[in-house]
Amino acid sequence: MTDRVIQLVSESTRNIPLNFAPVASNAVPVRDTLQRKIHDLRISVTDRCNFRCVYCMPKSVFNKDYQFLPHSELLSFEEIEKIATVFVKLGVEKIRLTGGEPLLRKNLETLIDKLSKLQTLDGKKVELTLTTNGTLLRKKAQVLKNAGLDRVTVSLDALSEGVFRQMNDVDFSVAEVLDGIEAAAEAKLGPIKVNMVVKKGMNDHEIIPMASYFKKTPHILRFIEYMDVGASNGWKMDEVVSSSEVLQRISAELEPLECIDPNYTGEVAERWRYTSGQGEVGVISSVTQAFCKDCSRIRLSTEGKLYTCLFANRGHDIRALIRRQEHQDQTDLLLENAVRNLWAGRTDRYSEIRSANTSQAGDRIEMSYIGG
């Protein structure tokens, strides 16, 4: 039986009009009202997934009655390339492909090939990464690498088969994901990051086995605080295990850790290293330690809406602009103006002002719709 049906075209995906007016300054990279540069573009290439992770796409909501987007609604690869080109011109240096499960999108390597040709403002290759549940990596890793993908992040929430199956809720095995990670390593899609969402009472007893397993590998395990993103997962604050607790547990039970510098300003994960020098772990403290101050990310949904914050409840429809028939020759300029105006007016800092009361949740976009 359906508990609730969440319509994709709802409050949460309503549009805010874009402002195409010419901009006063042509400065790059563009900065928002809090002087944050644009750096990181996350592109969702599908809203579908072969998992039903309980914290992301619970079966009670994402069931056979759920209406996923029809193919005609998805941005085509050419449209994504057009939009990404404008973002790179305005300062984006890193593009992450996500979903849903991005490897379910047919011929994804064609898109990767197009995006891999983009160059940053200082003439370097745009860093191209992908977040996946790993189940299709054995089949696709080498093809993706050949097309120009630089790295992958693989999600894995437990090493114990029972716990993992309980979390993905569709009977995929740990072995399949570990094999996918191995395939990615063989294809040189590293350094590979492994994301573990920690949900209290469900997989927090897997923290030490996971840390211990990945300490012996070159892969970087990152613990993500379970977030109040979307409206379908019934999030409660007392199900969050804080990053500081994760770090304390690893330090006490495995080996002490020391903090190391971020790779760049605005990096989401805080980096820690075992004092023996053997291995690194990361923590993403989206709930207990807001990192809005340096947030340089913008998200493009599967059907072409821009979101300046993961917790936004309204998108900006960019697809309407690129699909309109008239004045095609002006599209690139209007697109650039729109993105400049959008970023220049950005004020988002949800995590900094989040309260324990998440009664506004009904209005927010789903993680599977916008990606991580």
Cis peptide before 191 (omega within 30 of 0): yes
Site string for ligand SF4, 318-337 (x = CB under 6 A): --------------------
- For the CB of residue 91, give the shortest distance to ligand SF4 in the complex, in Å: 16
Residue 96 site contact among ligand SF4, ligand SAM, none (CB < 5 to 8 Å, cut-off depends on kind)? none
Q: Applying CB under 6 A, does 224 fall inside the site for ligand SF4?
A: no
Q: Applying CB under 6 A, does 350 fall inside the site for ligand SF4?
A: yes
- Would you call 245 helix, strand, or coil by DSSP? helix
Nearer to ligand SAM, 156 or 321 (CB): 156
Whether the CB-CB separation of 87 and 340 falls below 8 Å is answered with no
Element (H, E) at 179: helix 174-186
Nearer to ligand SAM, 286 or 308 (CB): 286
Q: Applying CB under 6 A, does 351 fall inside the site for ligand SF4?
A: yes
* Chain position carrying tokens 């009977």: 171
Name the strands in the sheet holding 94-98, side by side, starting at the edge strand that comes first in the sequence. 257-260, 270-274, 280-284, 220-225, 193-198, 151-155, 127-132, 94-98, 40-44, 297-300, 305-307, 316-317
Chain centroid to CA 39:
14
The one segment of 51-59, 85-93, 109-117, 324-332 that binds ligand SF4 by CB under 6 A: 51-59
- For the CB of residue 141, give the shortest distance to ligand SAM in the complex, in Å: 15
Rounded to whole angstroms, the Cα distance separating 48 from 369 reads: 8
Q: How far is CA 70 from CA 66, 325, 365, in A?
A: 12, 21, 18
- Would you call 76 helix, strand, or coil by DSSP? coil
Q: Applying CB under 6 A, does 227 fall inside the site for ligand SF4?
A: no
Q: Dig out the tokens for 130 from the structure.
A: 């992908």
Nearer to ligand SF4, 38 or 334 (CB): 38
Chain centroid to CA 152:
12
Nearer to ligand SF4, 163 or 292 (CB): 292
Among 18, 49, 83, 339, binds ligand SF4 (CB under 6 A): 49
Among 30, 56, 152, 370, binds ligand SF4 (CB under 6 A): 56
DSSP-derived letter for residue 125 is B
- For the CB of residue 299, give the shortest distance to ligand SF4 in the complex, in Å: 8
DSSP-derived letter for residue 41 is E
Amino acid, res. 250: I
Rounded to whole angstroms, the Cα distance separating 318 from 335 reads: 8
Q: Applying CB under 6 A, does 306 fall inside the site for ligand SF4?
A: no
Among 309, 321, 334, 361, binds ligand SF4 (CB under 6 A): 309
Site string for ligand SF4, 95-114 (x = CB under 6 A): ----xxx-------------
DSSP-derived letter for residue 140 is H
Residues that bind ligand SAM (CB under 6 A): 49, 55-56, 98-99, 101, 131-133, 155, 195, 197, 224, 226-227, 229, 233, 367-368, 371-372
Q: Dig out the tokens for 335 from the structure.
A: 């697109």
Q: Dig out the tokens for 6 from the structure.
A: 């969440």
Q: Applying CB under 6 A, does 368 fall inside the site for ligand SF4?
A: yes
Residue 351 site contact among ligand SAM, ligand SF4, none (CB < 5 to 8 Å, cut-off depends on kind)? ligand SF4
Which residue of this chain has its Cβ atom nearest to ligand SAM in the complex?
A: 372
Q: Applying CB under 6 A, does 51 fall inside the site for ligand SF4?
A: yes
Residues that bind ligand SF4 (CB under 6 A): 49, 51-53, 56-57, 99-101, 133, 155, 291-292, 295, 297, 309-311, 348-351, 368
